[in-house]
């Protein structure tokens, strides 16, 4: 596992204490897991994602990530309806490890309340939770 200083936490993203990230993209919000989360999991071998059209409340489990070490649930940062899933993860789950903020994203949602993004942690707040 890497030191925190070796991991990437883009400032333009918002984060949860459960290690998901969210990024506004016009009318949708893209969601994935942080560099810290993928580093803790180890080699990702399978990702289970919801169906387009599924709706979730903030904090709901919306899928799982399976690694050589463990199976971890994914939690929805804000309420919304799934608008798209990253189908590339079915054949290349390792994208979660190699590109957690680019090719390894999980879902795009149409948020129920876009202002809910403001309740998520900024980069500094997320780093503070990681440092304890």
Instruction: Supply the pLDDT for residue 19.
Output: 98
Instruction: Supply the pLDDT for residue 88.
Output: 98
Handedness of CA 74, 75, 81, 83 (dihedral sign): negative
Rounded Cα distance, 100 and 56, in Å = 22
Instruction: Supply the pLDDT for residue 39.
Output: 97
The pair phi, psi for residue 105, each rounded to 5°, is: -65, 160
Identify the architecture of domain 13-112 in CATH.
Beta Barrel (2.40)
Instruction: Supply the pLDDT for residue 42.
Output: 96
Domain residue limits, the chain: 13-112
Q: What is the pLDDT along the chain (132 residues), one digit of tens a residue?
A: 899 999 999 999 999 999 999 999 999 999 999 999 999 999 999 999 999 999 999 999 999 999 999 999 999 999 999 999 999 999 999 999 999 999 999 999 999 999 999 999 999 999 999 998
Instruction: Supply the pLDDT for residue 49.
Output: 98
């Amino acid at each position: 596992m890497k030191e925190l200083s070796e991991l990437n936490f883009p400032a333009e993203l918002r984060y949860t204490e459960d290690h998901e990230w969210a990024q506004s993209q016009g009318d949708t919000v893209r969601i994935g897991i942080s560099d810290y989360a993928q580093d803790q999991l180890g080699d990702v071998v399978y990702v289970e994602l919801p169906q387009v059209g599924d709706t979730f409340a903030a904090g709901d489990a919306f899928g799982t990530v399976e690694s050589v070490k463990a199976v971890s649930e994914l939690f929805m940062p804000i309420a919304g309806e799934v608008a798209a899933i990253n189908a590339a993860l079915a054949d290349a789950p390792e994208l979660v490890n190699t590109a957690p903020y680019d090719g390894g994203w999980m879902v795009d949602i149409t948020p129920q309340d876009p202002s809910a993004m403001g309740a998520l942690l900024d980069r500094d707040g997320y780093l503070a939770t990681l440092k304890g």
